[in-house]
Structure 1
Amino acid sequence: MSAMLGALVVVAGCASAPPVQPDIRPSVDPPRAAHTEVVPIRPVHTRSADTATGVTVEHLRYPVPGGHPDPHQNWMDLYLPDLTPPPGPSTRPVRFPLVILLHGGGWQSRIGASTFSGFSRILAERGLAVLNVEYRRVGKGGGWPTTFTDVGAAMDHVPAVAARYRQVDASHAVVVGHSAGAQLAVWAATRAHLAPGEVGSGPRFRPSRVFSLAGPLDLRRAVALGDHAVIRVLGGTPGQVPSRYASVDPIENIDPTIPIVVVTGTRDQVVRPELAERYVAADQAVGGHARLVLLAGQTHSSIVDPRSSTFGVLVDEIVQAAGTPAG
């Protein structure tokens, strides 16, 4: 990773709001991650001189457990770069590294995958195959367990997509999630350790790397800080449905073998940077290599806004993590 974004950066001593749910189980504070620093990011253009100019979009549906998908929500758009072979003697077909995007919106129906259409196109213009995933959310048939089974089913459909579109290289796929989508992305990447019968257990596909963008990666602490969206998607507080939190809370299901880049803005008032710091410290405590990156001056939504001064750096890092097209 570049020195600009790849370094571990953490803010220590974040203030905590008083708990708003009296039945929250007290949690043990994880050790602090090292290297306290906030890194200001310089603007970087999102396109390079060798950027692909043509992008095609394929609208795909994925099957869900039980065989009753919602055609308006159980879908994914596949963005493919220009298929023109690069100059040179090679006659091998070009294969594009895969990035999977999971949008945010508090697991609720008011925000959908269309908000990541521009993000998807920008990444495809940089030479990546991109799957922009839609899933059922609270208010439109989602919630517990449907939102999670949908995301798990979408991830498990990736090998079928790669088999149909041979130009897609899913061997080292990167999953990128924002806000609630970041929680889903980290959960989807670490669900191999779930017990049989748990929601999402027995995955048929696992990404190689995760980017969490402003993700609530400590759900119990998020509820204690007043995040009622967590309660709505899981159908109760940690005291009411403890097994659900134990099954899908990223900080309770750490897999130190999965590299995770945890990105958040220093001005995020929706998902406090404290949650990112706690997750990274917990991951490091068990031998993981999670990185916490605080983007100076950025808010919850601005870190995924193409107009922000740090968005270009984020795109560069995702492109670098995914790799370059093979040919």
Structure 2
Amino acid sequence: MHPFPGVRADRTADTRPACAAIMVAVALVMTACSHGKDQTPTHHSLEASHTVLGVSQAMVAHREAPEIRRVPYPVSGPGDEAQNWGDLFLPAGDHREGSVPLVVLVHGGGWQAASGAQDMNEYAEDLTTRGVAVYNIEYRRVGSGGGWPETFTDVAAAVDHVPELLAQNSELSGSVELAGHSAGAQLALWAGTRRDTSSYPCANPPRIKPARIVALAGPLDMQTAARSGDAGLISVMGGVPSAFPKRYQAIDPILNTTPSVPVVAIHGSLDRTVPAEMSRKYIRRLDAVGGDGRLEILDRENHGSFLKPTSPAYDHVLNVMANF
């Protein structure tokens, strides 16, 4: 039975073996016992360390509550310090070096200035309760200095700043997931899989290879969306596909599938803003080229309902995103 009964999965995800976790737990218990009753290890000291299976792991962070840090990222050319930043959400608790995975979160809103990173703050906070860090990025949008190509190059620059985040926060591991909702899903997929075969709009490949990309209700077939009259998409692209074919060719997810990066596409069955067929088509295309694609259709959910805590699918989607 699927772990969430309101979900239809076109591909069943592999279940992670529990053996490694059991071995680690046994090792920790044996280490603690060997100290005797009067030598209980201190778990809340930043100087503490654990030796697990012969590997010394230093405790590098302790927080009573989650922490949020504003992180500016550099861009090529003139930027906007009011928008070229990301908020780094760090989970509460004790954390050893290299133990916390990172989710790069890209908000949606039709590439328009009316929506911003603050719309995903609650979502980011709830992700941290599942033991991951979240880098919730802002970028210039149509109406706030964005459009072609700044919206896209901003997101690429934010993703390319991740190696600095990893270096500056030693609790973070090298396991990085990109995730986005709606327009943010398109941006996350492009930024995480862009190749140096195209000069539009950013020639360099990403500085990190994502462990996975999660696309939530994404317009993953941009040419079809534009031909169907998606005004927000047409405005950020500067026109329709026939006017700018190279632009669409460069960043349309369905035209740039990358087999080496797993993708999970999650979509509401009642979505009228971005039809679920967009995700179905993308996953079929990814599978056809030998990629690792997984599709989940959420019954009775629309374009954004599953992002709200009142949705019966809310916890399920967060759990999917936090386990990579």
Shift, 1:205, TM fit = 2.1
Q: 1:280-319 maps to which residues of 2 (within 5 A)?
A: 280-319=283-322
How far apart in 2 are the matches of 1:9 and 1:208? Answer: 20
Q: Secondary structure at the match of 2:236?
A: helix
Asked whether the equivalents of residues 110 and 182 of structure 2 are also in contact (C-alpha less than 8 Å), the reply is yes
Aligned counterpart, 2:247:
244
Deviations 1:15-72 (A, max 9, x none): xxxxxxxxxxxxxxxxxxx99xxxxxxxxxxxxxxxx961000011000011x22111
Alignment pair present for 1:198 and 2:200:
yes
Measure how far apart 1:197 and its partner are.
Answer: 3.0
Query: In structure 2, the residue corresponding to 1:282 is in which secondary structure?
Result: helix
**AA partner of residue 113 (structure 1):** A
Q: Hey, what's the Cα distance between the residues in 2 that align with 1:159 and 1:221?
A: 35
Find the counterpart in structure 1 of residue 135 from structure 2.
Answer: 131
Alignment correspondent of 2:20: none
Q: Which amino acid aligns with 1:79?
A: F
Question: Is residue 2:85 matched to residue 1:75?
Answer: yes
CA distance in 2, matches of 1:153, 1:310: 32
Contact 1:219–1:245 (CA under 8 A) maintained in structure 2: yes
CA contact (8 A) 1:83 1:94 kept: no
Aligned positions, number: 272
2:69 corresponds, among 58, 76, 95, to 58
Deviations 1:171-192 (A, max 9, x none): 221111000000001111210x
Q: TM-score, structure 1 length as denominator?
A: 0.79
CA shift for structure 1 position 277: 1.1
Equivalence for 1:28: none
Same amino acid, percent of matched pairs: 41
In structure 2, distance between residues paired with 1:195 and 1:84: 43
In the alignment, which residue of structure 1 is the partner of 2:164?
160
Please, which of 239, 255, 278 is the counterpart of residue 281 of structure 2?
278
Q: How far is 1:8 from its partner?
A: 6.7
Look up the match of 1:208. 211
Q: Which amino acid aligns with 1:320?
A: N
In structure 2, the residue matched to 1:47 is: none
| Pair 1:254–1:196, CA change in 2 (3 A) | closer
Q: Distance in 1 between matches of 2:303 and 2:291?
A: 25
Aligned residue type for 1:9: A
- 2:232 is matched with 229
Q: Is the 8 A contact 2:200 2:247 kept in 1?
A: no
In the alignment, what sits opposite 1:88? none
Amino acid at match of 1:313: H
Task: Give the TM-score taking structure 2 as reference length.
Answer: 0.79
Q: Is the 8 A contact 1:123 1:315 kept in 2?
A: yes
Deviation at 1:154, TM superposition (A): 0.2
Q: Which amino acid in structure 1 is aligned with residue 76 of structure 2?
A: P
Higher relative contact order structure (alpha carbons within 8 Å, sequence separation ≥ 6)? 1
Deviations 1:141-188 (A, max 9, x none): 00100000000000000001111111122x221111000000001111
Amino acid at match of 1:197: S
Q: Which has the larger radius of gyration?
A: 2
Which contiguous aligned blocks of 4+ residues in structure 1 show a shift greater than 2 angstroms?
A: 2-5, 7-10, 92-95
Q: Which amino acid aligns with 1:58?
A: R
Letter in 1 for 2:86: M
